[in-house]
Amino acid sequence: MAELTLRQVRKTYGSMEVLHGIDLDIPSGSFVVFVGPSGCGKSTLLRAIAGLEDISSGEFAIDGERMNEVAPSRRGIAMVFQSYALYPHMTVFENMAFGMRIAGLKKDEIARRVTRAAEVLQLAPYLDRYPRALSGGQRQRVAIGRAIVRDPKVFLFDEPLSNLDAALRVATRIEIAKLKQAMPGATMIYVTHDQVEAMTLADRIVVLRAGRIEQVGSPLDLYRRPANLFVARFIGSPAMNVIPGTVRIGPEGARLDLATGGGLRAPFPLDAGLAGQTVQVGIRPEDLRLAEGEPLLVGRISYIEQLGEVQLTYIEAEGLAEPLIAKLPGVLDLAAGASIALTADAQSLHLFGADERSLRPEPAAAVPEVTSARS
Amino acid sequence: MSGATHSARGFWPVMGQAFLWAFLLAVGVVVLYPLLWMGLGGFKSNSQIFDQPFALPQSWSLENYFSAWRGVQGYMVSSLLVTLVSTVATVLISARAAYGLTRTAMPAKPLITAFVLGGMMLSPTVALVPLVRMLQSLGLYDTHWALIILYTAFRVPFTTFLIRAYMLDLPRDLDEAAMMDGASPGQIYRRIILPLCRPIIVSCVVLHILFAWNEYLFAMIFTNSPSVQTLPVGLTSMMSKHGTDFAQVFAAMTLSALPIVIIFFLTQRYFIRGLTEGMAK
């Protein structure tokens, strides 16, 4: 059991601040994923939690106990490195046993724990091998094994799958998810820039940008109710389409006139002060469909990526610099160069103000269905 | 036409290869033949060396070698002692220094690195006079310690330079993984870094042995009595003593070169690997 709390955690290198006051609570037994583009500070934050980086100011605590000055090995934390960082001159057994030997555990206890971990990770036949004689996936499992034999309270994963090929990545991702199921009490923190890993593994995602937390929430929370334009674009693949629109408030409620022509009713009531203002209208590619009646968007197909089940259709629309992407059923007969008319439900729209924050009201009643389902 | 250009293209590379082989062979002969000649000279009599310098010995008598051994064994012991102790000291100090220079958060590290490695620029000849005074006042003049200390001091910079370069290439993740495993800096050094540095350590050991075994200047200046003198100095004094008995001098030289040759062949694998490792990952 380990609950992690970060209060105004800052990290500076010389005059450059890379973490700008992180506030975060990580509940015991949760699987939290830090996600964000390169250089957003997610690895630095992880390393600060591990104790490999000093915290410049603020406080980091595990179960209420301040950890800022505690040595990495005394924090009850194990870490899986991106490069695996296996000791090349030690066998698989020795790699896993090293930490326990340092801690002075008895020989038979060490052997018992290593054997058990090796069974869980299907490494038993390889215990006498050196890391150089293992495949990438096996090395990864040894790195995970080295973490679990120590029976830590907190597991840290620093982009553990980025060195694996696509097929192995999916397989190992599932193994990590199973590992979490097998250890419901362990708190796991996982860093990645791959939002698919984040969505599939996490029960809470922390989206970081430039050393700040943009949003914390469950994967579906972030997908359905992104707090700002950055999160909206980062979560979901392909990324959300964004079209500027003007707010018009009439007697029958708020309407949006899109820069591409067309318009529709706002998905939720808008503040009267927004009348005449420009907002950003976000539509996910999967929410677009062929229009049967009056279209919302009209454009020309510039390119199609046929994936079988779906086809990613790139559409050039008037008034937009970047093409829109629509995820349409693969069976539709579409061709590049043809014109296309699309529509979307008003309820599926996301609206963002000039400050890029979501305009969606956050009624307390709207949230519990998700959070209560998780607790 | 095409046949002519084809044969021309075939001709020059072959010639090039042939010249290269001939050149390497010539270099090999130039280096190896005198050594062989020296070894064979030890079996000959003095008159045969002068009468038939290039012939094989008439009899393979070990007489010269036995008498040379009696003359040389004292020097051999000194050489072994000085080489062994200074090698251990140099490599241990250098490895630890390299670890400090690559892995610790010591202040003014670039300055200290420059200071240590700057030692490589120091010419031994320049320091001779002060060193003589210093060692005399320390009471170390004409002892094995004089040579051990000097060899260690003068070789630490270069050895540190080699080991440091190797350590810089070792991934930091390993240190951090060991740190997470609870290892102290000392344990990381002994159990992770040092074992991984084995190829370069072996290279450094061989290089230092070569140096210490053959060093002449310090040995000549800082030792006086035959019981302290090392082989290079001892051989010179043998030469002046038995100036006319070349057969015995050759035998003594062969004996003194033998340990080095054996060590080189034993460690050759490591030696070559140490020099090339780190070039490609």
B173/B188 Cα distance (integer angstroms): 12
Please provide the size of chain B in residues. Answer: 281
Give me the mean pLDDT over the A26-33 stretch: 94
> Do the Cβ atoms of B86 and B151 come closer than 8 Å?
yes
Residues A186 and A290 in one domain: no
Give me the mean pLDDT over the B18-26 stretch: 95
For residue A172, which amino acid is it?
Answer: T
Residues A185 and A264 in one domain: no
Residues A72 and A37 in one domain: yes
B84/A51 Cα distance (integer angstroms): 42
Closest Cβ opposite residue B187 in set A81, A89, A102: A102
Nearest residue of A to residue B183, measured between CA atoms: A102
**Considering A184, A209, A233, which residue would you say is the last residue of a domain?**
A233
How close is the nearest chain A Cα to the Cα of B1, in Å? 51
Q: Is A13 helix (H, G, I), strand (E, B) or coil?
A: strand
* Buried/exposed code over A240-249 (b: 16+ C-beta within 10 A; e: otherwise): bbbbebbbbb
DSSP A103: T
pLDDT computed for residue A294 by the predictor: 84
Domains of chain B with CATH codes: 63-276 (1.10.3720.10)
Q: Please tell me the total count of domains within chain A.
A: 2
Residues 6+ apart with CB under 8 A from A53: A11, A44, A47
More confident residue, A271 or A69: A69
- Cβ separation B180–A73 shorter than 8 A: yes
The DSSP code sequence of A17-40 is EEEEEEEEEE-TT-EEEEE-STTS
Residues A339 and A369 in one domain: yes
A366 has a pLDDT exceeding 50? no
Give me the mean pLDDT over the A29-55 stretch: 93
- Cβ separation A52–B187 shorter than 8 A: no
A269 has a pLDDT exceeding 90? no
For tokens 């937009």, name the residue: A320
C-alpha torsion sign, points B152, B154, B156, B162:
negative
Residues A204 and A241 in one domain: no
Residues A117 and A211 in one domain: yes
Residues A223 and A259 in one domain: no
CATH assignment at residue A353: 2.40.50.140
Chain A residues in contact with B182 (beta carbon < 8 A): 73-74, 99, 102-103
Residue of A44, A46, A73, A158 to mutate for B, most B C-beta atoms under 10 A: A73
Band of residue B3 on the pLDDT scale cut at 50, 70, 90: very low
**Considering A190, A210, A233, which residue would you say is the last residue of a domain?**
A233
Using the Cβ of B188 and the Cβ atoms of chain A, whether some distance falls under 8 Å is answered with no
Residues 6+ apart with CB under 8 A from B186: none
How close is the nearest chain A Cα to the Cα of B271, in Å? 19
B49/B174 Cα distance (integer angstroms): 61
Give me the mean pLDDT over the A117-138 stretch: 91
- Cβ separation A52–B180 shorter than 8 A: yes
ipTM score above 0.90: no
pLDDT computed for residue A367 by the predictor: 42
Residues A223 and A242 in one domain: no
Residues A111 and A251 in one domain: no
- Cβ separation B176–A98 shorter than 8 A: no
Tokens of A162: 């980025």
Which whole-number Å values give the CA distances from A203 to A78, A222, A350, B154, in the listed order?
20, 11, 23, 61
Minimum mean pLDDT range among A87-91, A200-204, B106-110: B106-110
Element (H, E) at B159: helix B144-169
Minimum mean pLDDT range among A221-230, B3-12, B69-78: B3-12
A107/A84 Cα distance (integer angstroms): 25
Residues A273 and A158 in one domain: no
Closest of A151, A72, A73 to residue A114, by C-alpha: A151
Using the Cβ of B134 and the Cβ atoms of chain A, whether some distance falls under 8 Å is answered with no
User: What's the mean pLDDT when you consider all of chain B?
Assistant: 87
For tokens 């003593």, name the residue: B241
pLDDT computed for residue A363 by the predictor: 58
Q: Write out the residue range of the structural domain in which residue A64 sits.
A: 4-233
CATH assignment at residue A205: 3.40.50.300
Minimum mean pLDDT range among A299-303, A327-331, B261-265: B261-265
pLDDT above 70 coverage of chain A, percent: 96
Using CB atoms within 10 Å of the CB of residue B30, give its burial: 0 to 12 exposed, 13 to 18 middle, 19+ buried. exposed
pLDDT computed for residue B9 by the predictor: 63
Closest of B93, B132, B117, B160 to residue B217, by C-alpha: B132
A265/A346 Cα distance (integer angstroms): 6
**Considering A194, A216, A233, which residue would you say is the last residue of a domain?**
A233
Please write the tens of the pLDDT for every residue from B46-75: 888 888 888 888 888 888 888 888 888 899
User: What's the mean pLDDT when you consider all of chain A?
Assistant: 89
How close is the nearest chain A Cα to the Cα of B197, in Å? 10
Band of residue A375 on the pLDDT scale cut at 50, 70, 90: very low
Please write the tens of the pLDDT for every residue from B152-193: 999 999 999 999 999 999 999 999 999 999 999 999 999 999
Residues 6+ apart with CB under 8 A from A274: A247, A249, A254, A353, A359
Residue of A83, A132, A151 to mutate for B, most B C-beta atoms under 10 A: A83
A 10 A CB-CB count for A250 gives: 8
A172 has a pLDDT exceeding 90? no
- Calculate Rg over the CA atoms of chain A: 24
pLDDT computed for residue B7 by the predictor: 53
A106 has a pLDDT exceeding 90? yes
Closest Cβ opposite residue A72 in set B180, B187, B198: B180
A365 has a pLDDT exceeding 70? no
Residues A19 and A118 in one domain: yes
Minimum mean pLDDT range among B7-16, B47-56, B190-199: B7-16
pLDDT computed for residue B23 by the predictor: 96
Residues A264 and A297 in one domain: yes
